[in-house]
Chain A
Amino acid sequence: MEIDSATNGNSDTVMTESAATITPSPVVVSSSRSNQFTESLKLEHQLLRVPFEHYKKTIRTNHRSFEKEVSTIVNGVGELADSDWSKDDTVSRLTCLVTRLQGLKRKLEEGSNVENLQAQRCRARIDHLDSVDVENITEWNNTKLKRILVDYMLRMSYFETATKLSESSNIMDLVDIDIFREAKKVIDALKNREVASALTWCADNKTRLKKSKSKFEFQLRLQEFIELVRVDTAESYKKAIQYARKHLASWGTTHMKELQHVLATLAFKSTTECSKYKVLFELRQWDVLVDQFKQEFCKLYGMTMEPLLNIYLQAGLSALKTPYGLEEGCTKEDPLSQENFRKLALPLPFSKQHHSKLVCYISKELMDTENPPQVLPNGYVYSTKALKEMAEKNGGKITCPRTGLVCNYTELVKAYIS
C-alpha cells in the first residue's frame, strides 16, 4: 500500500457521474509536484521536533550533572588548600578527588556518545526529508507509511512489532522507539498505581513543565494524598496531613479550588457516599492520570496527541467522503464502499467540493469542455472521446460497459458541466 502525498488546499474531488471513482491526480508538471512536497513537508513537524527536543534535553541533563560534579570537586580542592591536613590525609583526599574526576570523565564520554547518536538521528531525519524528489516519491511515500505505522504501534505499546518493522525497513533513525519506551515505564507504573516514576519524570522535566503551566505533578501529588486518606486509619490521616503540608500547600496560591476539594476528603473519608468526593476515590482516577501523562508527554516532545495514522486517515476519508459514496450503488474503487472505511468515516464531515471533476468510466480521463460528457439512453455518462473511439470500432454502435445496452452514436445526448 502506498500513500500519495496529501494535496493540501485542493478541495476538488475526483468522481464520476454515477460512480465516485477516485483517481490520483496525474503528474502534469514537476512544479505542481514540488508544491505537493512543500505541503507534505508541513506535516513532518513531529519527525524533526521529537529528536531535537530529546537532544536538547540530553544536553541540558549532561550539562547540569557536569556543573554539579565540577562544583563539588572544586570545593573539595578549595577545602584542601585552606586546611592543615596531615600528608596522608591530603593524599587520601586527593586520591578521592582524582577518582571523582575519572568518574566525571567517563560520564562525559558516555554523555557525549549519547549526544552524538541523537545528533546523528536529527541529521538522518533532515537528510531523509531532503532526499524527496519526483524520481523516488513512491519509495519515499512507502517509508513515510511505515513511519506512520510504527508511530501507531508505539502509541499502542506494540513495541516488538514496531521494532521488527523498523529494523526490517531500515528506518530506526526515523522512528522514536526509545522515547516511547521511556513513556511506557511511566504508564505501566501508573497503571500499577505507583506515582514514583511519574514524579521522577516530572522532576527531570521540571523547567519545561513549569513553562507550559502543567498541572501534572500537582495531580500526581493529589492522587498520593488520596491514597493515604483511602487507608482510613488515624495514622494514615496524620500522614496525609503531613504529606499535604510538605507537597501540596505550595500549590495553594495557584490551585486553591482543586486543593480544597481534595483536602475535604479528610472529613468525608473514603467510605463517603457524597458523589463530589466519592469520585476522587474511584480507581479510574488512575486512568485519568495515564491520559494526562500521555498529553503532557506529547506536548513536551511536540508530538501530535493523536497517532499520525488517525490523522492521515481522517484527513483522507473526509476528503473522499461524499453523499454518493455512502449509497449502495457506489463503485468498488471508492474506499467508502467498504464497511470498515464507512465506520471510520462516520463521525467525519463531508468533503467540501467547489467543483466536481467527472472522470470517464471507460478511459479514466477527465471530462471537460475539450472532452465533454455524453449521456446514453439508459442515463449513464461517458466521455465523447471514449464513445467516439468505440463507435468507430463498432460501426457507429455504442455498448454500455456497465449495463450492456446497445445504441447508436446518434442517440447520445451531450451533457453540460455547470
Chain B
Amino acid sequence: MSLFRIFINQLEEDDEDMATSKKMITREEWEKKLNAVKLRKEDMNTLVMNFLVTEGYVEAAEKFQRESGTKPEIDLATITDRMAVKKAVQNGNVEDAIEKVNDLNPEILDTNPELFFHLQQQRLIELIRQGKTEEALEFAQEELAPRGEENQAFLEELEKTVALLVFDDASTCPVKELLDLSHRLKTASEVNAAILTSQSHEKDPKLPSLLKMLIWAQTQLDEKAVYPHINDLSTGKLEDPSE
C-alpha cells in the first residue's frame, strides 16, 4: 500500500509538470515498481486466517491452520458458538439466540443494552409475524416498554414496531422494512460484532478494509497521474493506462 504513497509524493514534487498535464506511467514501469515491493508469506496467511475467523468459516480455518501452520487469534471452538447465535437470529429464533449468547458470555448483553433491546425488538417482530397478537402485546408491555422509557432512541424503535400490530397487509405498512429478512440479518450482524468485540477481536475482517484502501488510493492517484488500474478486484488484473 505504501507504494501509492511513494508515487503520490514523487508526483507532488514535480509541480511544473503537474501544472501542464498528468504524469504518464507505463505498465512496464508500474510492474517493475510493484515487483520491488516484498510481502511476507506469514502476513498474507494471517490476513486469510483473520478473514476466515471473523466471517465464521470454522472448518476452513481448521484446515488452513493445519496446512499453513497459521495460528488463529481466538479459540476456534468459540466460532461455532458464535455462528450458531448468528444463525438462530437469521432464522427468527431470537429466544434461542439470547440463551446461546448468555451461555457464551453473560456479560455481552449486560454491558450492551442497545443490543439486548434490538434482540427483544426482533423477538417482538417475530411474534407479530406469526400473528401471535396477544403474546406480542404482553411481551411489548412487560419487556420493551420499561426499556423504552429509559432511552429516547429505544422509544422510537418501539413505536415503529408496535405499529406493525395494526397493519393487516404488510405491503401497505409504512414500517414494513421491519418485517423484511434484511432486518433479521442486520440484528444478526450486530450480535456477531458484539461477540467478536467481547473476544477482543475486530468486528470486521482486515481484507475488505485493505481492498477499500486500494480503491481509495487509486482515486487519489487518478487526480495526479495516468497509470495501470486494477478495475476488477476479484482478478486483481492490471488494466493498461488510457488517456
Contact = CB atoms under 8 A, between A and B. Distances in A.
A79 B97 CA distance: 65
A274 B166 contact: no
A237 B134 CA distance: 9
Interface stretch (B55-63, B156-164, B182-190): B156-164
Given A245-B168, A252-B174, A276-B155, A266 B134 contact: no
A23 to B, nearest CB: 62
A273 B146 CA distance: 10
A145 B118 CA distance: 66
Contact of A264 (B159, B167, B172, B175): B159
Interface string A257-295: 001110110111100111010000000000000000000
A259 B137 contact: no
Contacts of B149: 273-274
Interface residues of A, number: 24
B165 A266 contact: yes
A234 interface: yes
Contact of A263 (B141, B155, B166, B172): B166
Interface residues of B, number: 23
A163 B105 CA distance: 79
A364 to B, nearest CB: 68
Q: Classify the interface of chain B: helix, strand, loop or mixed.
A: helix
Interface string A232-253: 0010011001001100110011
B182 to A, nearest CB: 20
Interface string A45-70: 00000000000000000000000000
A262 to B, nearest CB: 9
A256 interface: yes
B145 A237 contact: no
Contacts of A244: 165-166
A267 B148 contact: yes
Contact of B145 (A253, A259, A267): A267
Q: Classify the interface of chain A: helix, strand, loop or mixed.
A: helix
B167 A252 contact: yes
B140 interface: yes
B166 A245 contact: yes
Contacts of A248: 166
B50 to A, nearest CB: 42
Nearest to B149: A274
Nearest to B143: A267
Contacts of B140: 266-267
A256 B174 contact: yes
A263 B163 contact: yes
Contacts of B134: 234, 237-238
A249 B162 contact: no
B84 interface: no
B159 A263 contact: yes
B174 A267 contact: no
Contact of B163 (A234, A237, A259, A268): A259
A314 B77 CA distance: 82
A263 B166 CA distance: 8
A267 B137 contact: yes
B144 A267 contact: yes
A273 B134 CA distance: 23
B137 A249 contact: no
Contacts of A249: 166-168, 172
B235 to A, nearest CB: 47
B226 interface: no
B159 A266 contact: no
Contact of A241 (B159, B165, B172, B175): B165
Interface string B166-179: 11100011110000
B137 A266 contact: yes
Contacts of B162: 260, 263-264, 266-267
A381 B158 CA distance: 75
Given A234-B134, A267-B144, A267-B145, A241 B158 contact: no
Given A264-B162, A266-B140, 17 more contacts: A237-B137, A244-B166, A245-B166, A248-B166, A249-B172, A256-B175, A260-B175, A264-B155, A264-B158, A266-B141, A266-B165, A267-B162, A268-B145, A269-B145, A274-B145, A274-B149, A276-B155
Interface of A: 234, 237-238, 241, 244-245, 248-249, 252-253, 256, 259-261, 263-264, 266-269, 272-274, 276
16 contacts: A237-B134, A238-B133, A241-B166, A244-B165, A245-B166, A252-B174, A256-B163, A256-B174, A260-B175, A264-B155, A264-B162, A268-B145, A268-B148, A273-B149, A274-B148, A274-B149
